[in-house]
Amino acid sequence: MALRIISFTVVDRFQAAIRNGKTAKGAWEELQKVLAPKGKQRKYSLIKRLYRLDMQSGSSLRDHEETFDFLV
């Protein structure tokens, strides 16, 4: 049942990852590998994006904070 719920709520481009996991736990772990990698490349990419993050003119500090939170 849980595997079915996961498959119905995940967008099409991530369905392949779900199919690799035979159980709900397996599907969840496959999604984590795809969506939240924790390797050095991910860390480097995040740091690079954070350094390049500039506050857009005309936007509020709240908008800038939300953009930052989304990245992190």
pTM confidence score: 0.48
* Sign of torsion over alpha carbons 39, 43, 48, 52: positive
**What confidence tens digit (pLDDT) does each residue in 6-59 have?**
888 888 888 887 887 788 898 888 888 877 777 787 777 777 877 777 777 888
Taking residue 29's Cβ as centre, other Cβ atoms within 10 Å add up to 13
The position carrying tokens 């199919």 is: 19
Query: Is pLDDT of 3 > 80?
Result: yes
Query: Is pLDDT of 71 > 70?
Result: no
pLDDT at 72: 61
Question: Do 53 and 67 touch, CB atoms closer than 8 A?
Answer: yes
